[in-house]
């Protein structure tokens, strides 16, 4: 299959690129497009056949549910049975935006979108290209991240092309994404809404609107199976083995030297503030520790960049788990397979 590419700038609904991409989605093909978080791989959420193409292209296990994207509130009603009051408050506060709500499933949605669950995850993206394509297609679009399963999520059209060229119908290039990590997923079917995946909207922001919010124990405890779309299996990993390092730069540098002594080629994921503290084969800063949103924005880009250097091992600094730092550390922990080197002093 030849993967077509469309470049879209200064989005207008009348753009032929938007119309063609939407037409292909209506015809049950799979098309990648940008959202404000990462690039999504979209298909008709009402078609089992179309959704199956997402799983095939990504190599994603079929028991891993997908998030459905909408462009207007009228598209939400057929997807869900009811919308609790707290969900309405969150919709008014954060949609369009990087917040996914898990609600009781309505009729008509393809069974493989929800992996047979009685709930469906829905969000309204805050990106003009995504909204234009969904509106033009005039149907809800199931869309996980547009990458091969297990690899870092794509934040540019080039990332998508590297992973999925020849496997999907087309890619809409709307430039680099903004937030950089996926949406927050909040289960609204529980008595106290529960965060299943931290993301672009923080726990603190949610609680300002609806009061107490709980966190899925799987995010806090090893061995628990997460319930969120996109977190059931190892994700976000570069080719080289990644370790998180809890300790100061001197301790991290000691880990590097120990591996270098074994003949290993070593990389370091750090911040602009700390990059001068290290010596290694490759040192890549990922934003500023003073602005964790910049770390989130560049995280996947940097994880992918390491793949260009044929490294044996990567050591990453850790980040404060406050605000969007919770999402950053969630993704890094998944990318490292939970492997952490801790300073014992």
3-state secondary structure (DSSP) of residue 278: coil
Residue 313 to residue 306: CA distance in whole angstroms: 10
Residue 192 to residue 210: CA distance in whole angstroms: 10
3-state secondary structure (DSSP) of residue 337: coil
Secondary structure letter of residue 154 according to DSSP: P
Residue 157 to residue 244: CA distance in whole angstroms: 28
Decide: 271 and 277 in contact? Cβ < 8 Å. Answer: no
Q: What are phi and psi of 104, to 5 degrees?
A: -65, 135
Q: Which residues are annotated as a binding site for ATP?
A: 60, 64, 119, 145, 153, 197, 236
Decide: 13 and 136 in contact? Cβ < 8 Å. Answer: yes
Residue 30 to residue 4: CA distance in whole angstroms: 11
Number of alpha helices (DSSP H) and beta strands (DSSP E) in the chain: 10, 16
Q: Which residues are annotated as a binding site for L-threonine?
A: 37, 69, 123, 143, 183
3-state secondary structure (DSSP) of residue 307: helix
Residue 290 CB-density burial (10 A; 0-12 exposed, 13-18 middle, 19+ buried):
exposed
Sheet of strand 67-69, all strands in order from the earlier edge strand to the far edge: 4-7, 170-173, 31-34, 39-44, 141-142, 67-69, 119-123, 99-104, 184-187, 194-197, 214-215
3-state secondary structure (DSSP) of residue 301: helix
Residue appearing with tokens 């289960």: 187
Q: Which residues are annotated as a binding site?
A: 37, 60, 64, 69, 119, 123, 143, 145, 153, 183, 197, 236
């Amino acid at each position: 299959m030849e993967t077509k590419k469309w470049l879209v700038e200064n989005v207008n609904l009348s753009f032929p690129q938007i119309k063609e991409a939407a037409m292909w989605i209506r015809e049950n093909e799979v098309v990648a497009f940008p959202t404000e978080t990462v690039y999504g791989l979209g298909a008709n959420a009402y078609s089992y056949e179309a959704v199956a193409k997402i799983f095939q292209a990504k190599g994603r296990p079929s028991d891993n549910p997908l998030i459905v994207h909408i462009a207007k509130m009228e598209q939400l009603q057929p997807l869900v049975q009811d919308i609790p009051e707290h969900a309405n408050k969150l919709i008014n506060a954060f949609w369009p935006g990087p917040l996914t709500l898990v609600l009781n499933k309505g009729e008509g949605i393809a069974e493989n979108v929800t992996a047979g669950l009685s709930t469906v995850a829905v969000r309204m993206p805050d990106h003009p290209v995504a909204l234009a394509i969904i509106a033009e297609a005039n149907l809800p679009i199931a869309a996980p991240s547009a990458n091969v399963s297990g690899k870092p999520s794509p934040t540019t059209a080039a990332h998508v092309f590297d992973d999925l060229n020849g496997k999907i119908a087309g890619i809409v290039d709307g430039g680099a994404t903004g937030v950089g990590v996926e949406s927050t997923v909040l289960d609204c079917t529980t008595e106290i809404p529960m965060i299943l995946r931290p993301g672009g909207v923080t726990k603190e922001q949610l609680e300002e609107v609806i009061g107490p919010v709980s966190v899925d124990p799987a995010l806090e405890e090893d061995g628990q199976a997460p319930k969120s779309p996109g977190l059931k299996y190892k994700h976000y990993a570069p080719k080289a083995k990644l370790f998180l390092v809890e300790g100061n730069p001197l301790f991290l540098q000691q880990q590097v030297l120990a591996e270098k002594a074994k003949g290993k080629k070593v990389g370091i994921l750090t911040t602009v503030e700390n990059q001068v503290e290290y010596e290694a084969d490759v040192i890549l800063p990922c934003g500023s520790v003073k602005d964790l949103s910049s770390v989130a924005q560049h995280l996947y880009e940097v994880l992918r960049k390491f793949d260009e250097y044929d490294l044996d091992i990567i050591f990453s600094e850790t980040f404060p788990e406050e605000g969007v730092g919770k999402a950053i550390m969630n993704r890094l922990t998944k990318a490292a397979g939970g492997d952490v080197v801790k300073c014992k002093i």
